[in-house]
Chains A and B, each alone.
Chain A
Amino acid sequence: GIQVEQSPPDLILQEGANSTLRCNFSDSVNNLQWFHQNPWGQLINLFYIPSGTKQNGRLSATTVATERYSLLYISSSQTTDSGVYFCAVERGNAGNMLTFGGGTRLMVKP
């Protein structure tokens, strides 16, 4: 099956700093989503981004499908950004299921 690797696995930032999270995937995909999992376990959809660039406030994401990677940018980080960030991909012929990476655990210190 498709492999999804996220880096870095852990990240500690000082409030106000910027960061870039990376997601590499091993095969072509027709769906890619970034999620933030809060301390209560809820997966919050950040971006649906199979290709191109999107921005939402302090967050933005870029997917380069031909090179099989996606980047999530967090600017001016806040303590509420802490949690686990997951990248998940879907292939069209694989039962329409999401395959998740291992996540990046982010801690933003005040």
Chain B
Amino acid sequence: DTGVSQNPRHKITKRGQNVTFRCDPISEHNRLYWYRQTLGQGPEFLTYFQNEAQLEKSRLLSDRFSAERPKGSFSTLEIQRTEQGDSAMYLCASRDGGWGGYTFGSGTRLTVV
């Protein structure tokens, strides 16, 4: 068990570019979550998957944000036409079913210049 893995650790992009982040959850965990954390704040929920099904996506910040988990294993979070306000830490977490604790990855820090 290598924990939750996120790549890249850091991403600097120019405004207007598209970016994609990857999350590999703990292998036996069927639930995967994406959170966003801005400076000085606690993480806020974006979306989650149970296996390959995206069960909650109303909290995605705009239609520029989308997430996939095509085979119920790793997940990607894409932001299109990035804006400076998208600069934040993007965190992924997984858990086994709907109970028990969440395990978070190290996050991807996005800077939009």
User: Are A and B part of the same complex?
Assistant: yes
Q: Tell whether, in the assembled complex, residue B56 and residue A41 are in contact, meaning their CB atoms are under 8 Å apart.
A: no
- Residues A45 and B101 in contact in the complex (CB < 8 Å), given A97-B33, A97-B45, A100-B44: yes
Verify if B100 is at the interface (C-beta below 8 Å from A): yes
Q: Tell whether, in the assembled complex, residue B56 and residue A95 are in contact, meaning their CB atoms are under 8 Å apart.
A: yes
A residues contacting the other copy or chain, number (CB 8 A): 21
- A interface, over-half SS: strand
Residues 29-51 of chain B, each 1 if its beta carbon lies under 8 Å from chain A, else 0: 00101010100011111001000
B101: which A residues are within 8 A, CB to CB?
A: 31, 33, 45, 48
Measured between alpha carbons, how far is A35 from B101 in the docked complex, in Å?
11
Per a CB cutoff under 8 Å, which of B42, B45, B59, B104 touches A45? Answer: B104
Task: Find residues 55-110 in chain A having any chain B CB closer than 8 Å to their own CB.
Answer: 86, 88, 95-103
- Residues A102 and B42 in contact in the complex (CB < 8 Å), given A33-B102, A48-B100, A95-B48: yes
B59: which A residues are within 8 A, CB to CB?
A: 97
Measured between alpha carbons, how far is A96 from B95 in the docked complex, in Å?
11
The 4 closest A-B pairs by CB, nearest first: A100-B42, A48-B101, A43-B104, A95-B56
